[in-house]
Amino acid sequence: MTVSPRVVRVIVRIVAAAGSGGILYLSFPPRQLWFLAPVAVAVLVVTLRGRSNPAAAAYGYLAGLGFFVPLLPWVGAYVGAAPWLALAAVEAVAFGVFGALAAVVGRLPGAPVWMACGWVAVEAIRARVPFGGFPWGRIAFGQPDGPLLPLAALAGAPGLSFVVVLLGAALAAAVVALRTKQPQMLIAPATAVAAVALLVWIMAPAGTTEAGERSVTVALVQGNVPRLGLDFNAQRRAVLDNHVQRTLELADQVRTGQVARPEIVVWPENSSDIDPFGNPDAAAQIDRAARAIGVPILVGAVIAQDNGTSRNTLVVWDPASGPGQEHDKRQLVPFGEYLPLRGLMTRLSSYAEQAGNFVPGTGNGVVDIGGVPVAVATCYEVAFDDLVTESVRAGAQLIAVPTNNATFGRTEMTYQQLAMSRVRAVEHDRAVVIAATSGVSAVVNPDGTVEQQTALFTPDVLVARVPLQTTTTLATRIGPAWEVVCTAAAVAALVAAAFRSRRRA
């Protein structure tokens, strides 16, 4: 049986589209293959060239599946494949939208620029809808080990995504120019690459951030959990005791001069799943740890409400006065910490009943710990541009990311989250400290480098002197402006392409 050349071409495009998503996945941590991201974009753009809008959308969707399916297995680590694959299928729609958009604007002069704008616009939408959005897997979050990272200080994660896609689309344009033997078409991609290289060269000194006027010694306590999986919450007292014990051991090391005395101690999210306001024994244990170390502890606690809901809270626990300022997690995890459409979802899946009934907090995310204004981005919150930006604009000089990754086992989730934290450090020129129940805990310098890091599922304590920055980057000042500009440019390009097509008709 002879397969027609047309069928062969379609099969090749299907493989290329799905493969481009796989290449993009390989560019993400824990691998340090950041340079594969522009290659992945180039493969996708070449695959989309000359396709109709529906076909381009289909190929884009395949690319999305090729990316999100291997990126997100942690979602179903202990609840099965269905939630993982469903989320991957939904998120891949964004790639399909980009595919259709790229097929249209790809016919315009300066196509790489309009494609990059379109990508940023699609990521902006995906970061906000549905159910508050899911920014995980933004192309910028795969770049913490690459030379483009300093550019995050200019236009944040959206700007970093823009540059990566611009380079990929320019590479695709160069490939097409060489294949079609039209050397004049190399001018535009060469100009784009030169402009990016110039920006990187200008921003390179930002990679070595000078120490701020002040600094602070921070201790991060990783108490570990009794065992992997969702049932670690059933041993909530053991988790609390682990963090108390590690803090007591730290206090002994301070007294004997083995380590420097910290001025701030950070415990992870859910380090006290026992409500310390409703359980005196839990409060007594936290008091014991705070008095032993003699400095405030930022404690992750679950606070029960009279109406049956709960708050995922970080409490500043002072050794003298006890509990003080609080930060309630503002961006909750849908289908995890709360259940959208609860009545419908519980009928569709037995797993839905496991979702929590948390309520989101308000405020700017800043708490005062020992006189230091600290931005608290609880776990999932670090993925959201606006939350961290609001906190830094409100005066935060340090970013803390208390997180609980125990429910995701030994998957890549914690390394993906660490990569986001490194981007945030550069974006806002702030040190970032990550305290995780089971790892990875880390100390990240304002230039995005990791100074210290723990292993997974081992009790540990990190102590580091970190700078307190007061200056603000351009990215902090402009906030979402780059997303707005790119979205407007993408819409204008679509209108121009439609007008151009109508004139030709």
> What is the per-residue pLDDT across 203-261, written as a single tens digit (0 to 9) for each?
765 444 454 469 999 999 999 987 655 555 557 788 999 999 999 999 999 999 999 99
Residue 351 has pLDDT above 70, yes or no: no
358-383 pLDDT, tens per residue? Answer: 999 999 999 999 999 999 999 999 99
Q: How confident is the model at residue 300 (pLDDT cuts 50, 70, 90)?
A: very high
What local confidence, expressed as pLDDT, does residue 206 receive? 44
Q: What is the pLDDT of residue 228?
A: 58
pLDDT in tens, 318-334: 999 999 999 999 999 88
Please identify which of the residues 91, 117, 263, 379 carries the catalytic annotation.
Answer: 379
Q: Where is 352: in which H helix or E strand?
A: none
Quote the percentage of the chain above a pLDDT of 90: 76
- Residue scoring higher pLDDT (204 or 121): 121
Q: What is the pLDDT of residues 152-190, one digit of tens each?
A: 999 999 999 999 999 999 999 999 888 887 776 777 777
Summarize the confidence of residues 43-52 as an average pLDDT.
95
Does the annotation mark 181 as catalytic?
no
pLDDT at residue 295 is higher than 90 = yes
Q: How confident is the model at residue 207, as a pLDDT?
A: 40
> How far is the C-alpha of 368 from the C-alpha of 400, rounded, in Å?
12
Q: Beta-carbon neighbour count of residue 203 at 10 Å?
A: 18
- Cβ–Cβ < 8 Å for 225, 481: no
Phi, psi dihedrals of residue 165, rounded to the nearest 5°: -70, -40
pLDDT of the residue at 60: 98
How does the average pLDDT of the chain come out, rounded?
91
pLDDT of 146 above 50: yes
Residue matched to tokens 């991060």: 220
Per-residue 3-state assignment (H helix, E strand, C coil) for 366-396: EEEECCEEEEECCHHHHHCHHHHHHHHHCCC
pLDDT of residue 203: 75
**In this predicted model, which residue has the larger pLDDT, 405 or 27?**
27
User: What are the pLDDT digits (tens) for 80-114?
Assistant: 788 899 999 999 999 999 999 999 999 899 999 99
**Catalytic residue among 329, 337, 427, 486, which?**
329
Q: Which of 25, 34, 30, 37 is nearest to 65 (CA)?
A: 25
CATH number, domain 214-468, options 3.60.110.10, 1.20.1070.10, 1.20.140.10, 3.30.1360.120: 3.60.110.10
Active site residue 353: no
Known active-site residue 486: no
Burial of 498 (0-12, 13-18, 19+ CB in 10 A): exposed
pTM across the whole model: 0.93
- Exactly one of 91, 123, 263, 269 is catalytic; name it: 269
Taking only Cα atoms into account, the Rg of the chain, rounded to an integer number of angstroms, comes to 24
Cα–Cα distance list, 52 to 26, 80, 103, 108, 386 (Å): 28, 37, 7, 15, 36
DSSP output for 74-139? GGGTTT-HHHHHHHHHHHHHHHHHHHHHHHHHTTSTTHHHHHHHHHHHHHHHHTTTTTT---TT-G
Residue 496: exposed, middle, or buried by beta-carbon count in 10 A (0-12, 13-18, 19+)? middle
Q: Are 40 and 27 in contact (CB under 8 A)?
A: yes
In the chain, domain spans: 5-207+480-504, 214-468
Question: Which of 38-42, 189-193, 249-253 bottoms out in mean pLDDT, i.e. has the lowest?
Answer: 189-193
Contact 33, 26 (CB under 8 A): yes
The confidence score (pLDDT) of residue 209 equals 45
Is the predicted pLDDT of residue 306 greater than 60, yes or no?
Answer: yes
Closest CA to 375 of 262, 293, 469, 246: 469
Structure tokens at 357: 């009934």
- 503 vs 434, which has greater pLDDT? 434
Residue 470 near residue 439 (C-beta atoms within 8 A):
no
Separation between Cα atoms, residue 356 and residue 338, nearest integer Å? 5
pLDDT at 202: 77
Question: Which range among 193-207, 341-355, 408-422 has the greatest average pLDDT?
Answer: 408-422
For residue 242, CA distances in Å to 224, 239, 302, 422 come to 7, 5, 17, 27
